[in-house]
Amino acid sequence: MAVESVLSAPALAVSVRPRRIPPAVWLIGPSIVFMAFLLGWPVVQGVLQAFRNEEGFTLEFVARMADDPYFWPAVRNTFLLIAVMIPLQFAFAIAMALLLRANPRFHKAHFFIWAIPLALSDLAAGLVWLAIFNDRGYLNSALSLVGLEGASWLAYDNQTALFVCVLIAEVWRSTSLVLVIVVSGLQGIPRDYDEAAQVFGAGFWQRLRHVTLPLLKPSLQVALILRTILAFQTFAVAQALTGQNFPLVVGETYRWYTGLQNPNVAAALALIILGASLVTSIFYLRALREKGQGN
Amino acid sequence: MNDPGLFLHRPITRRGALLAGLATALTPLLTSCAGFSTSGSTAASGSVGFLSTQFTPVEEKQRYQAVLAEFVDAPVAYNPVAPGVFASTIQTQATAGKIRTSLLGGLHGELAPLADSLDDVDGLLQDVAGKGFPPAILELTKLGGTTSKYVPWMQATYVVAVHKKALKWLPADVDVNNLSYDGFLAWGKAAKKGAGRPVFGMPAGPKGLHHRFYQGYLLPSFTGGQMTTFRNADAVDAWSYMKELWEVMVPASTNFDAMQEPLARGEVLVAWDHVARLIGAPADNPEDWLMVPAPEGPKGRGYMLIVAGLALPTGGRERDLAEQTIRELSDTRTQIETLRANGFFPVVQTELPTDLTGAISLEADAVRQQQRSKSALLALPPVGLGAKEGEVSEIFKNCFAEICLGDSPIQATLDRQATQLNTILKELDVPCWAPDPVSSGTKCEVA
Amino acid sequence: MMNPTSRVHPPVDTRPLAMRRRGRAYLQVAVLGISLFMLLPIYLISLAALSTRESLNRFPLSLLPTDVSFETLAAFLGSTGIVGAFGNSIIVGVGTLALSALFGIPAGYALARFAFAGKEPYQLFLLFTRALPIVVLSVPLAHLFLVAGIYDTTTGVILLHAALALPTTILISASVFLSVPRDVEEAARIFGCSPAGAFLKVVMPMALPGLAAASIFTFVMSWNEVLGASILTLDHRTLPAQVLTSLSDSPLAYRFAGGFALVVPSIIFIAFMRRFLTNMWGSTIR
C-alpha cells in the first residue's frame, strides 16, 4: 500500500542501522519502571510473609488459614457472590447503555444520575444500605407506613436474605463502573452497522448478538477484568450489612491482619485473592481477544 | 464523521496542551511542601506528636483536645487512629529507625505487642509516684517484664445500662442495683414475654467487646478464674447460662459493635458494654436511664478493668516535652476533667467530684458500686500475651459463635478451643493473672 | 361537504405509530425507574446527614425532610483538620490524575497500536499489582516511604495512588485507542503531521470519552482511598484517612454527615467530566 511504503521509506534508506528499540518500549517503559520501583519490593515482602517465619520456608500459615472455621464459608461466599453478581451487573449495565442510546428525554441527566454511585466510597455505600435494611431502617419504616410488618432482613441465621441484601447493595454501588466503560465504548460504534443490519431484517436480539456486542468486545474485556478484580477486593458493604455473618476472603484478610495481628496468615489469604484475580484475568484476556491483537 | 471538530466543543489546541503540561509540572511544586497539617498543630519541632487509639469519635476528640489545650503547656498534636493503624505505624517506624511520634497512648492490650519498641518509664513513675496509682495497675504496666513500659493514663470498666421502660418487667424479688445472673435472666425472659420481642442486647458485632464479657464477667463469676478454669464443670454451667441468655437477646446483636445506638433507638432496652460506648445513649435524657453494676454469680461479681496508658517510643522526638506532658496528664485536675469530658476514670488516688451531671454521674455511680461491692472479683485484662492478644480474644468469640449461634455441644466446644488456647499459652510461657491464681514461674494453661 | 373535490383517503394504519409511541413510553418508564433506584440511597444519605440527631432514633424513620438541621454537618466540618485534609485530598487527586495520565496514556496507546512480544505478560503485570489487597503491603510500603523520606507527605500518597490508578488508566485508554481507526491517524501523517501531532490533534479528541472515563475512575479512587493514605501519613492526612476512623466509632448522624461531605466533591468532578463522556450524543452520525 502506498501509505506503508511512505512510512517504511526512512528505515530502508539507512539499512545498516542496528535494530532500534521498538517505540513501544519507550511508551510502556516508564510505567513498568514506576510500578516496579514503587511496589516491587513491598509486593515481594508481602507475598513472602505467607511462607516465611524465623526458621525459613514454612506452610504453617497456610495450614492455619485453612483450619480457621470461617475460611471455607468465606471462599464459598466469595465465589458465589462473584459468579452471580458479575453476569447480573453486566446484563444490567448493557441494558442501561442501550436504553440511553435509544435517546430518551433528558438522557444526559439520567446518565449523570446513573454515574453518581461511582463517587461514593464503599464505606459510605455500606452505611447507607445498612440504614435501609436495618431492623429499624428505611425499608421497614416505609413498609410500616404502608401498614405492612417489617422483617429482619439482616438476621444472622438467614443466609439467603443476607446474600440477596449484599447483592442488591453491591449491584447498586458498582454497576456504574461498568456502565461508564460500556457507554464510552458504545461511542466508538458507528450507527451505520446497526442500521444496515436493521435494513437487512435483523431483529433486536440478533443485532445485539452479532453487531453490537462483538464491536463492544474491547470495552467489555476491560470492564470485566477491572470489575472482577475490584469485586474480589471489596468487602466494606458486606461487612457493614452482615458483620461476620457473611464472611468473604478479603474480609478475612483484613481481620487476620488488623484484628488478630497476624500478617502471615493475612498474606496467605491475600495470595488466594491474587491467584483468583489473575486466573480470571487470563481467562478474560484469552476469551475476548480481538483478532489481530493477540501475541 | 472524521472531522474532530464535530466531536468537541473546544478542540485540543496548543494552548490547551500547554496548560495541561503546566499543571503537570506545577503539581510536584505544590506537593513538595508535604501538604496541609491535619492534627491541629504544626507537629514540627516544639510540639508533642501524640498518637493514640482513644477518643476516635469526632466529639470526643474535640473535647479531649480542649482538655489538652487547658492543662498541657506544650502544643500537642493529638492523632487518634484505629488500633490496626496504631500498631503498624509504630512497628514500621521502629523497624525503619525513623520515629515521628513523641507520645503514644493506648489500651493495655494495644501497648502489649509493642513492648519492644517502648522505653522504660520507671524514672517517670517515680516522679509521679505520689499520685497513688493502684498497685494492680502498676503491675500491669510491666507488660509481663521487669520494668514498667507505660504510665497509667486513665481507666474504665464495663457496666449495664437500663432504660427505665424495662423496669416494669423486673421480677419482684430482683434488685436492679444488685443483680444476680439468675435474676438477670429471669428479667430478660419476662421482658421478652411482656414486650413481645427480646429487649436485651450485647455488643456481639465484629468490633464489639463481648469477649471481655466472657473473659472478665461471665467466667470469673461462675468459675472464679479465667484461663485455668476454662473448661471445667463450672465453665460448662456458665456457657449453658449464656445460651439461655442469648435466647432473650435481640438477634441483631451480632451486628452491634457499640450499644449506644441501639439503646438510643429503643431497639434494645438493657445492655452490657464499655462505659464509653454506653455514654451516648442517656446523653439527651438521663432521667430515663439507669446504669447498674454487672450481675453477681456463684463465685462473685466478676468485673474487668480497662486500663489505658501513656508510653514513650524508643527514639521518639521531643522526649523532654513528652515526659512533661505525661506529668501534666497525671495531675489530678486533668484526670477529673477527662472524666467530665469523656467518661474515663482517673487512675490517681482522688475523690470523685460531687457535681457530676447527666450521663457521667450515672456512670460514676455504677462504677463505684461495682468496684466497692462486697463480692467484687477483679479480672485483669490478659497480661503478657503480646501479639497473641487478638487470637486469645478470638477464642472466646468463637466459643460464643459455636455454642450460642451454632448450637454445638458445650463440653466438646470448650475442649476444642482449650487445645488451641493451650497451644498459644505454651508458646508464650507466661504466669497467670487475676482472677486466676498468680504465681510467677509457673506457666499459665488451661487445666 | 365543504370541498366537493376532496378525495377519500385510504384508512391510515396507525398501529406502527401507536406501537412506536408505546415503545417510547416504556423506554421513558424504564429509564425513570432505574434513575429512581440509583437516586434513592443518595437521597437517603442527604436526608440523614441534614436531619437532627433525635429524628434518626425514631421509628418509623421519616422518609421526607421533616427535621432539617445542619448541626451534625457543621460539627463535622468544624472538627480539627478537616479543611487541611480537604486541601490535601485535592492536591493528591490532581497529582494522581496528572501522574497517571503522564505514564498511562502513552502506555495505553502502545498497547493498542503496537504488537510486541510480552503484551499479555505486561497486562498481567499491571493487574498483578492491583489484584493484591493493599493491606498486606502496609508495613513494607510504609517502611519504604520512611526510608525514602517521603513518609507523611502528599507526594508519597500521590505516588501510591498513581500506582493504583495506572492499571485502570492504561487498560481503558488501550481499549479506547483500539476503536479509533488507524486510517485517520495515517492520513494525518501523510498530510504532514508529526506522530505526536497526529496523536494530539486526531487521536486524542476521538479517544476523549474513554480518557474522561479513566480520569473519573482515577480521581474518585484517589479521593476515596483510605487504607493506603492512613498508613503513609500521620499529620498530613487526606480527607478519608482523617475522617473515616473517627466516623466509624461516632454516632450514626455523624457517619451520615461525613459520608455526605465526602461524596459531594466526587459528584462535582463527575458532573464536570461527563460532558466529555457524552459529547457525542448530540450528533446523529454515531
Three-state SS letters, C142-198? HHHHHHHCCCCCHHHHHHHHHHHHHHHHHHHHHHHHHCCCHHHHHHHHHCCCCHHHH
What residue of B is the nearest CA neighbor of C57? B265
In this predicted structure, what is the pLDDT of residue A295?
A: 36
Spatial CA neighbour of C80 closest among B61, B85, B70: B61
CB contact A3 to C (< 8 Å)? yes
- pLDDT of B264 higher than 50: yes
Judging by DSSP bridges, how do beta strands B103-107 and B301-311 pair with one another? antiparallel
In this predicted structure, what is the pLDDT of residue A60?
A: 86
**Contact assignment for A31 to C266 by CB distance below 8 Å:** no
**Contact assignment for C251 to B280 by CB distance below 8 Å:** yes
* Predicted confidence (pLDDT) per residue in A59-113, tens digit: 888 988 998 889 999 999 999 999 999 999 999 999 999 888 888 888 888 988 9
Average pLDDT of the segment spanning A47-51? 88
> What are the structural domain ranges in chain B?
48-156+306-360
Which CATH architecture does the domain made up of B48-156+306-360 adopt? 3-Layer(aba) Sandwich (3.40)
- pLDDT of B2 higher than 60: no
Residues 6+ apart with CB under 8 A from A182: A93, A94, A97, A216, A219, A220, A223
User: What's the DSSP call for residue B413?
Assistant: H
Helix (H) or strand (E) holding B96: helix B83-96
Choose the mutation target among C42, C113, C114, C132 for the interface with A, i.e. most A CBs under 10 Å. C132
A111-to-A179, B297, C107, C268, C270 alpha-carbon distances in Å: 9, 63, 29, 14, 11
Choose the mutation target among B81, B254, B257, B405 for the interface with A, i.e. most A CBs under 10 Å. B254
For residue A146, which phi and psi values (nearest 5 degrees)?
-85, -10
Query: What count of residues does chain B have?
Result: 447
Preceding omega of B435 cis (within 30 degrees of 0): yes
Average pLDDT of the segment spanning B406-420? 91
Q: How far apart are CA B318 and CA B44, in angstroms?
A: 10
Helices (H), chain A: 2-13, 23-48, 60-67, 71-101, 107-115, 122-133, 138-146, 159-186, 191-199, 204-207, 213-215, 217-233, 236-242, 249-254, 263-287
Mean pLDDT of chain A: 84
Residue with cell 454469680: B297
**Contact assignment for B255 to A243 by CB distance below 8 Å:** yes
Q: How far apart are CA B238 and CA B223, in angstroms?
A: 8
Let me know if B84 is exposed, middle or buried by CB neighbors in 10 A (0-12, 13-18, 19+).
Answer: buried
Let me know if A121 is exposed, middle or buried by CB neighbors in 10 A (0-12, 13-18, 19+).
Answer: buried
Beta bridge partners of B272: B160
* Predicted confidence (pLDDT) per residue in C34-78, tens digit: 999 999 998 988 888 888 888 888 878 888 888 888 888 888 888
- pLDDT of A251 higher than 60: yes
In this predicted structure, what is the pLDDT of residue A291?
A: 58
In this predicted structure, what is the pLDDT of residue B13?
A: 58
In this predicted structure, what is the pLDDT of residue B42?
A: 58
Spatial CA neighbour of B150 closest among B107, B212, B197: B107
- pLDDT of C170 higher than 50: yes
Q: How far apart are CA A252 and CA B314, in angstroms?
A: 32
Asked whether the beta carbons of C235 and B79 are under 8 A apart, the reply is yes
Q: For a pLDDT cut of 90, what percent of chain B falls above it? A: 42
- pLDDT of B256 higher than 50: yes
How many C-beta atoms surround the C-beta of residue C23 within 10 A?
A: 11
C259 CB neighbours in chain B (<8 A) are: none
B391 CB neighbours in chain A (<8 A) are: 260-262
In this predicted structure, what is the pLDDT of residue B22?
A: 61
Average pLDDT of the segment spanning A114-132? 87
* Predicted confidence (pLDDT) per residue in B279-288, tens digit: 888 888 889 9
In this predicted structure, what is the pLDDT of residue A192?
A: 82
Helices A122-133, A159-186: inter-axial angle, 10-degree rounding: 130
At the topology level of CATH, where does A62-287 sit?
MetI-like fold (1.10.3720)
Assign B16 a pLDDT band (cuts: 50, 70, 90): low
Asked whether the beta carbons of B188 and B137 are under 8 A apart, the reply is no
* C-alpha cell of residue B274: 464499655
Among A13-17, B4-8, B233-237, C158-162, the range scoring the smallest mean pLDDT is B4-8
Asked whether the beta carbons of C88 and B38 are under 8 A apart, the reply is yes
Given B34, B61, B101, which is nearest C246 (Cβ)?
B61
At the topology level of CATH, where does C82-277 sit?
MetI-like fold (1.10.3720)
Mean pLDDT of chain C: 84
Residues 6+ apart with CB under 8 A from C278: A108, A111, A183, C209
Q: Report the Cα B377 to chain-centroid distance in Å.
A: 20
Preceding omega of B353 cis (within 30 degrees of 0): no
> What are the structural domain ranges in chain A?
62-287
In this predicted structure, what is the pLDDT of residue C135?
A: 87
Q: How far apart are CA A121 and CA C130, in angstroms?
A: 18
Average pLDDT of the segment spanning A176-182? 89
User: Could you give the dihedral angle defined by the CA atoms of residues B231, B237, B240 and B245, in that order, rounded to the nearest 10 degrees?
Assistant: -120
Residue with cell 453476569: A87
In this predicted structure, what is the pLDDT of residue C240?
A: 86
In this predicted structure, what is the pLDDT of residue C226?
A: 87
| Angstroms from C51 CA to nearest CA on chain B | 15
Average pLDDT of the segment spanning A19-34? 80
C191-to-A6, A84, B8, B44, B310 alpha-carbon distances in Å: 12, 52, 22, 59, 73
Average pLDDT of the segment spanning B311-330? 92
Judging by DSSP bridges, how do beta strands B270-274 and B200-201 pair with one another? parallel
Query: What count of residues does chain C have?
Result: 286
In this predicted structure, what is the pLDDT of residue A293?
A: 47
Asked whether the beta carbons of B226 and B379 are under 8 A apart, the reply is yes
